[in-house]
Amino acid sequence: MTANSPRVMVELIKVSKTYPPSVHALQDVSLSVRSGEMLFLTGKSGAGKTTLLRLLCRSEVPDKGLVEVAGQDLERISGSGLQQLRRRIGMAYQDFRLLPRHTVAQNIALAMEVAYRKPSFIRKRTRELLERLRLSDKYHTPAGELSRGEQQRIAIARALANRPDLVLADEPTGNLDRETSTLVMELFREHEEQGATLIIATHDRELFDDGGHRVVELRDGRLLAPEDGEDTGSGDASLQSEEADQ
């Protein structure tokens, strides 16, 4: 599979992550994501979705296994190499990670400023994103004074701001109603069309039930047998998870 794809954006090989003392967040996970693909990652609460995404932007390092993003081994990457890679990744965190005292515009601009974009570009892109997410009137509002759903959209806007090659969205619609979720998904699809790779962790079946996108499921840290013929995951994953549930 990996060999067939034109270019591989994300490659995980037998990755395990254990939090001290003994929380096996990920076990032997292998997964590869083609460049330009939109992938949904599902799984019960505590299955390890967030952990997987955190490995991809190296906020967490794996105990075992190989993590490659855009062809670069994250274990061997240099400091400035990592910084450059991170500017090509946009992550919408499950807990948003907004700066509550900064205004909405400043929060979004941050992602572009660290890449030394021009102020004029930053302003234009910020306005465009806020427009798309129906938050234009909150431009100057401090992020801490928004409702949770509004904050979630700001987090998504920040992740997309820099037109990253890889978008990681962690539960992007958890605080959004159906209508607003649709807005967000439209934005995601647009970026997919423009060539970005997207990995979306969600438990909301409605997000992926309609389309022909690949969906992988984590259960207790293991990838389940894939739904559309993926060669990832281990056969006894479901059995293992049933034991763990006891």
Ligand X SMILES: Nc1ncnc2c1ncn2[C@@H]1O[C@H](COP(=O)(O)OP(=O)(O)OP(=O)(O)O)[C@@H](O)[C@H]1O
- Residues lying near ligand X in the complex (CB under 6 A) are found at 19, 23, 25, 43, 45-51, 94, 145-150, 175
Whether 130 and 143 have beta carbons less than 8 Å apart is answered as no
Q: Indicate whether 145 belongs to the interface with a second copy (CB under 8 A).
A: yes
Looking at 18-26, 104-112, 145-153, 221-229, which segment touches another protein (CB under 8 A)? Answer: 104-112
What does 210 interact with, of ligand X, a second copy, Mg ion, none (CB < 5 to 8 A by kind)? none
Q: Indicate whether 118 belongs to the interface with another protein (CB under 8 A).
A: yes
Pairing of strands 23-34, 8-19: antiparallel
What does 239 interact with, of ligand X, another protein, Mg ion, none (CB < 5 to 8 A by kind)? none
CA dist., res. 108 & res. 2, Å (int) = 35
Closer Cβ to a second copy, 84 or 141, answer by number: 141
- Binding to a second copy by CB under 8 A, coded x per residue (else -) over 61-100, reads ---------------------------------xx-----
Q: Indicate whether 61 belongs to the interface with another protein (CB under 8 A).
A: no
CA distances from 235 to 79, 148, 222, 232 (A): 38, 39, 10, 9
Whether 39 and 228 have beta carbons less than 8 Å apart is answered as no
What does 118 interact with, of a second copy, another protein, Mg ion, none (CB < 5 to 8 A by kind)? another protein
Helix (H, G, I), strand (E, B) or coil at 38: strand
Looking at 11-19, 25-33, 77-85, 234-242, which segment touches another protein (CB under 8 A)? Answer: 77-85
Listed residue (207, 113, 198) closest to 158, CA to CA: 113
For residue 54, which phi and psi values (nearest 5 degrees)?
-65, -30
CA dist., res. 138 & res. 84, Å (int) = 30
Q: Which of 30, 42, 126, 241 binds a second copy (CB under 8 A)?
A: 42
Closer Cβ to a second copy, 88 or 203, answer by number: 203
Closer Cβ to ligand X, 133 or 198, answer by number: 133
Question: Token match 């607003």: residue?
Answer: 180
CA dist., res. 33 & res. 192, Å (int) = 13
Binding site for Mg ion (CB under 5 A): 50, 94, 147-148
